[in-house]
Amino acid sequence: MPGKERLYKLSVLAYLILWFTGCFWLMAAISSGLFEHALGIDLVLLKDYIYYGAAGAIGGTLYAMRLFHQFYDSLTERWVLWYLLRPINCAGAAVMTIILFESGVMLLQTGNSVLAKIGIAFLVGFGYGKVMDKLKSVTETLFNGKSDSDSSDADRQSKP
């Protein structure tokens, strides 16, 4: 069993390092114009969103590498899946969060600065769990008309 555990650890570490360095490389490649057209898609139109996704993945991967180091001795198969999905989830969440800010659904003043949005995307990736909690709260408020805290208050008031 120790051989399997060691293989998991080396695989997770290699995967996270590839994501971390690969996202920096992707941002540099896009910036240099290396991928102006790929697979029939004009990537120049999507350049900013690729930056946001890569920055979110960098933030999420950095957080995952910190936890990997901190909990190295307690890695289980369950957590391997968490490590594998973390950069992907963070990239998607970063792009969608920036879109929510740009659309005005969520309020945050960033202006038109791409660098500020890249910074926010990084923070979304790094703080992915907290962002998901906030999005859940916003969704509850928008679509149920009340948040969890409101329903808890109502439950407490209705009890004798």
Residue 27 counted as domain residue: yes
Residue 156 counted as domain residue: no
- Which of 35-49, 53-67, 111-125 bottoms out in mean pLDDT, i.e. has the lowest? 35-49
Q: Is the pLDDT of residue 158 over 50?
A: no
pLDDT given for residue 160 in this prediction: 41
Higher pLDDT, 150 or 142: 142
Residue 160 counted as domain residue: no
pLDDT given for residue 56 in this prediction: 96
Higher pLDDT, 5 or 14: 14
First to last CA, the chain: 56
Q: Looking at the 3D structure of the chain, how many domains does it have?
A: 1
- Which of 46-60, 77-91, 106-120, 138-152 bottoms out in mean pLDDT, i.e. has the lowest? 138-152
Boundaries of domain holding 44:
2-146
Residue 153 counted as domain residue: no
Residue 53 counted as domain residue: yes
Residue 26 counted as domain residue: yes
pLDDT digits 0-9 by tens, 15-42: 999 999 999 999 998 888 877 776 677 7
Q: Is the pLDDT of residue 157 over 70?
A: no
Residue 152 counted as domain residue: no
Select the highest-mean-pLDDT range: 52-61, 70-79, 108-117.
Answer: 52-61
- Rounded average pLDDT over 137-154: 68
Residue 48 counted as domain residue: yes
Q: What is the pTM of this model?
A: 0.80
pLDDT given for residue 110 in this prediction: 67
